[in-house]
Structure 1
Amino acid sequence: MAIALRYAARSDRGLGPKSRNEDSGYAGPHLLVLADGMGGHAAGDVASSMIVGELAPLDDDSVPAEQAIPLLEAGLQRANSLLTRAMAENADLAGMGSTTIVMLRTGNKIAMAHIGDSRAFLLREGTFSQITKDHSFVQQLVDEGRISRDEASSHPQRSVVTRVMTGQPEDEPDTSLREARVGDRFLLCSDGLSDFVGADVIEEILREARSPEEAADRCIEVALKASTRDNVTAIVADVVDAAGDDLPSTVPQVVGAAAARGLREPTRAIPTSPAAKAAALSREATGRREDDDGPELAEEAPRRPRWVRLLVGVVLAVLVLAAGSYAAYGWSQQQYYLGARDGRVAVFRGVSQDLGPIRLSHLESETDVNVGDLPTDVQLSVGAAIPATSLADARDKVERLRSEAERCRARAATGIPCGTAPVTPTTVPTAPASATGSARPATGASATGPASRAPASATAPTATTVPTAARAVAPR
């Protein structure tokens, strides 16, 4: 049976002090990449977007299984070399780095490489497991039997990572090749989710969500309700039958810093192929112009009169603008969102923004769901527009809002205010062994406390001082 992926990628800056999103994510028909940049002022967003840009061209269905792991390793080496070169050319980038998780589908198998403490989870036939092992100081202490997994979740140096992409030769990832089965659900996430939301809550989300889109949206929502102080990114992918009724995804999604840097210039054409996205992201991250590496002409052709060149240029510009505007408008009319109209939830077709005097949305249908019956946080979401992937998805969201409004009215009838839906993160339990790999202990993560990146020189308890053999990496 031929398999395919249905995926969704979401990212948010979080509620902490960071002024920009340093996470980057890419989800395509054959490739999933998540990179959590580190360094703060040292351009963690540049590092993560450069890595995603370098790996995005691997989104190809022609890779044989025996070549998948070497291909990922070579791609990560190239990305690491890009970091080295960028830091050598720009002193402001010195010290940047990034975690990386990359999954490449090859036939009915998944090749994976990861480095750092971003995590990948798998829900298969009712069994939930963490399939990556953190490259962190506390994980090393757990492996050595010096602390328990419960102690790891509150250890003062739990945020120190020992291996990430920093442009150094020793930055080598762990790799694996596993079978993919129809019904598998994968989650790639940054520590903005796993450090603030318990693994049992994450498991519940993956079990109950009806689609990758719903699961990814819910992961971000729960992380924000848990007051995550870090950037949070989630990529969810379902393995589906390529010829079945559950249609696979076909359009790549870029989120976080990679999307912000790659689409920063509004006059530049938006890249559509993975290779074009990679080139755009690399140019944005390094500051190179599009023509820096272009070929030189051996012989200059005869020049047309200046007025002819100007006229041709104007005509071409008008045609490009017209085509671009038509394509953009056509794309906008395939989008849907939920908003408020006359105090009730309504479904709109288009996008919630306007382009000057041009309205880019119109009312698709009205509902009987009163906005005032919803919890306060949901009312704010409706007011800010809740995106939907299709008309059917929009209708599903309306039904969920209707159920939420009924719940609130029932509570109000008993004198209990509705408020917001509570989230009760819990301590991360021991992660079970990978469905196909060897058993490895998973690092515990606090569900309630922030996991700010601490310097490698931070003081630890006497029994857990950083061993001299560990190479701790600078904080995020």
Structure 2
Amino acid sequence: MVFQGSSAAISHTGKVRSNNQDSGYSGSNLFVVADGMGGHAGGDVASSLAIHRMTELDQPFPTPADAEHALRDALSDTAAELIDTVARRPELAGMGTTVSALIMVDDYAVIGHIGDSRIYLYRDGELTQITTDHTFVQRLVDSGRITPEEARYHPRRSVLMRVLGDMDPDPEIDTFIMPTQDGDRWLLCSDGLSGVVGDAHTDRTLALGMPPARTADALLKQALDGGAPDNVTVVIVDVGGQHPVFTGTPTIVGSALNPVGAVAPAGRPARSNWLHPVRQAANEPTHFEPAAEFLEELIEEDRRRARRRRLGWLAALLIVLAGIGLALFAGYNWTQTRYYVGADDDSVVIYRGVQQSIGPISLSSVYEDTNIVLADLSDFDRQTVEATISARSLSDAEQIVERLRPTPEAGG
């Protein structure tokens, strides 16, 4: 049957790039995000071809299994079409696209995914990432070598391990089926959103319960406020719910609005390598699908980076410890220039240091026993000495002692 719910799609070039290589589709049963790559025009063509190839899936399917089979075939056919396109237009060599697709069949969501675009599910107040990024850093996360938070800022966070492109006629595609229910809110997005807007902010936005179009606008605004260094594409799909049921014509956004794809500039050199750091310049290549030997190079590079990071932390720790040690040494030396007068057992003593201790370590020591017996002092002087008398210097301490010393007459 036709999906009962509401949806919206939006795409934006972002604040850095001058052309939009993303494409998005929101139909009656089919919802797709594709993030193209491969230079100024190649990414436009790749994502546009993917969307237009898959629109034939926007129909009611008898069973979720039928939809999953059709989705897998469509993605494989898209890879073949990309290869054929490059054969006819060699200037597009190296182009490719991610695809994250959702087909609604009765009470099930049929999902197809390749690349680093994402599908999220917001259900019962909790946001869950449904797809797994096919990226180099995700492999590092899966192997426990880095944390998800470290992955957000890793210099190789956008290196793709799997993508629909012009080099692999049989790409490895993730497909699976999930039950869905009234009130579910699905989010499909390119990494232009997920790479800038954290899941916590996305969660709060989806929780507001605004209609899909307003929700998509709010998420796009957050990406733009965060700098939007890449194209941003968002598709929101609500299952059932309070908002009007989607009954209009399908919505196509991004480069797929041009049914024939962008025309590559004359003389553009062929490329097969794609990288896109978060703040790189517009129109630079956007992703990279490494060969096996380059993957080993990346892994070794990451090992070197990890070693440098550990050595850096160790060096910083040693510097801090050395600083603390020097401060303690300097502080102790300063205490040894201080003097005071006090009592030791039954006599008056000049102490060097200060009247404090650090744990079991005393910061003072006996400098001179004056041989003045406490019992020979007046009650007031004895109490004063026992409470200690601070001195400005050694000579000051010696003068204090002389003032305390009993005269022969007082002693006789």
TM range (shorter): 0.5 to 0.7
In the other structure, the counterpart of 2:303 is 462
The one-letter amino acid of 1:26's match is Y
Whether 2:115 is the aligned partner of 1:123: answer no
- Kindly indicate whether the alpha-carbon contact (under 8 Å) linking 2:103 and 2:109 is maintained by their aligned counterparts in 1: yes
The one-letter amino acid of 1:43's match is G
Q: Which ranges in structure 1 are unaligned for 5 or more consecutive residues?
A: 262-280, 288-447, 466-476
In the other structure, the counterpart of 2:200 is 200
Note the alpha carbon deviations across 1:338-361, whole angstroms, 9 max, x for none: xxxxxxxxxxxxxxxxxxxxxxxx
* Paired residue secondary structure (1:49): helix
1:171 and 1:135 map into 2 onto residues whose CA distance is: 12
- Kindly indicate whether the alpha-carbon contact (under 8 Å) linking 2:121 and 2:185 is maintained by their aligned counterparts in 1: yes
Whether 2:100 is the aligned partner of 1:101: answer yes
In the other structure, the counterpart of 1:233 is 233
- Kindly indicate whether the alpha-carbon contact (under 8 Å) linking 1:31 and 1:56 is maintained by their aligned counterparts in 2: yes
- Kindly indicate whether the alpha-carbon contact (under 8 Å) linking 2:33 and 2:100 is maintained by their aligned counterparts in 1: yes
* Paired residue secondary structure (1:43): helix
1:217 and 1:37 map into 2 onto residues whose CA distance is: 22
* Paired residue secondary structure (2:164): coil
- Kindly indicate whether the alpha-carbon contact (under 8 Å) linking 1:3 and 1:182 is maintained by their aligned counterparts in 2: no
Q: For residues 348-359 of structure 1, what are the structure 2 equivalents within 5 Å? A: none
* Paired residue secondary structure (1:219): helix
In the other structure, the counterpart of 1:248 is 246
2:156 and 2:139 map into 1 onto residues whose CA distance is: 11
Relative to structure 1, the CA distance from residue 284 to residue 461 in structure 2 (aligned partners, 3 Å threshold; closer, same or farther) is closer
CA RMSD of aligned residues (A): 2.5
Flag the structure with larger Rg.
Answer: 2
The one-letter amino acid of 1:255's match is V
Relative to structure 1, the CA distance from residue 72 to residue 2 in structure 2 (aligned partners, 3 Å threshold; closer, same or farther) is closer
In terms of mean alpha carbon deviation, does 450-459 or 215-224 score higher?
450-459
- Kindly indicate whether the alpha-carbon contact (under 8 Å) linking 1:24 and 1:49 is maintained by their aligned counterparts in 2: yes
1:31 and 1:183 map into 2 onto residues whose CA distance is: 18
In the other structure, the counterpart of 1:136 is 135
**How far off its partner does 1:102 sit?**
0.8
2:210 and 2:8 map into 1 onto residues whose CA distance is: 12
Relative to structure 1, the CA distance from residue 171 to residue 464 in structure 2 (aligned partners, 3 Å threshold; closer, same or farther) is farther
In the other structure, the counterpart of 1:149 is 148
2:216 and 2:240 map into 1 onto residues whose CA distance is: 17
Relative to structure 1, the CA distance from residue 28 to residue 15 in structure 2 (aligned partners, 3 Å threshold; closer, same or farther) is same
1:182 and 1:36 map into 2 onto residues whose CA distance is: 29
TM-score, structure 1 as length reference: 0.56
2:24 and 2:47 map into 1 onto residues whose CA distance is: 9
In the other structure, the counterpart of 2:222 is 222
**How far off its partner does 1:286 sit?**
9.1
Relative to structure 1, the CA distance from residue 286 to residue 128 in structure 2 (aligned partners, 3 Å threshold; closer, same or farther) is same
Note the alpha carbon deviations across 1:371-410, whole angstroms, 9 max, x for none: xxxxxxxxxxxxxxxxxxxxxxxxxxxxxxxxxxxxxxxx
The one-letter amino acid of 2:203's match is E
In the other structure, the counterpart of 2:38 is 39
2:78 and 2:249 map into 1 onto residues whose CA distance is: 23
1:128 and 1:5 map into 2 onto residues whose CA distance is: 19
Q: For residues 224-303 of structure 1, what are the structure 2 equivalents within 5 Å? A: 224-240=224-240, 246-259=244-257, 261=258, 281=259, 283-284=260-261
In the other structure, the counterpart of 1:185 is 185
Number of equivalenced pairs: 281
**How far off its partner does 1:144 sit?**
1.4
